Amino acid sequence: MLKSVQIKDHMSTRLVTLDPDMDILRAVRLLITNVVAGAPVVDGNRKLVGILTERDCMRVAMQAEYHGMPGGPVRRYMTKDPQFVSPDESILHVAQLFIDGKYHRYPVVKNDRLVGMISRRDVMNAMGKQHPM
């Protein structure tokens, strides 16, 4: 059994976030520069409005190939209404989401505001702390 089972004890809080009105090419450069595979998209109140993933960025590249230079706001390319978890939920709950689903990370939202991200790696690190080798 994990010593601390709440997501808030294992989530990342230092995040790269994107604005929905940011230009998509600037957003892609931020992801590449920060070596992250995706980032939450938040409004001025840190309300989660979407997520921009590597898959979304690949769509931008494909559109550029077929239609010329890509551009436009992040909101045009992001995945809207992403699934999220609460910081007070069990880390075992999110582990099951990872097992059953296709996502590698989930935004963590409290009171309608983004407070962190939890990844598969975070869950693995939590397990490693509980059961050191």
Buried residues in 49-87 as b, exposed as e (16+ CB within 10 A):
bbbbbeebbeebeebeeeeeebeeebbebbeeebebbbb
In a domain, 1, yes or no: no
Q: In this predicted model, which residue has the larger pLDDT, 133 or 100?
A: 100
76 CB contacts (<8 Å, ≥6 apart)?
Answer: 24
Q: How many domains does the structure of the chain reveal?
A: 1
Residue 7: pLDDT band (50, 70, 90) is very high
In a domain, 103, yes or no: yes
In a domain, 27, yes or no: yes
In a domain, 121, yes or no: yes
In a domain, 57, yes or no: yes
- Please tell me the distance from the alpha carbon of residue 6 to that of residue 108, in angstroms, as a whole number: 11
What pLDDT is recorded for position 27?
94
What pLDDT is recorded for position 63?
73
What pLDDT is recorded for position 24?
92
Residue 72: pLDDT band (50, 70, 90) is confident
> Taking 70 as the threshold, does the pLDDT of residue 3 lie above it?
no
What pLDDT is recorded for position 111?
95
- pLDDT for 19-68, tens place per residue? 999 999 899 999 999 999 899 999 999 999 999 998 888 888 777 666 66
- Please tell me the distance from the alpha carbon of residue 54 to that of residue 39, in angstroms, as a whole number: 9
Is 109 in contact with 48 (CB distance < 8 Å)? Answer: yes
- pLDDT for 78-109, tens place per residue? 999 899 999 999 999 999 999 999 889 999 99
Q: What global pTM score does this model have?
A: 0.86
Q: Quote the domain boundaries for residue 52.
A: 7-130
**What CATH number has the domain bearing residue 15?**
3.10.580.10
In a domain, 60, yes or no: yes
> Taking 80 as the threshold, does the pLDDT of residue 131 lie above it?
no
In a domain, 81, yes or no: yes
In a domain, 107, yes or no: yes
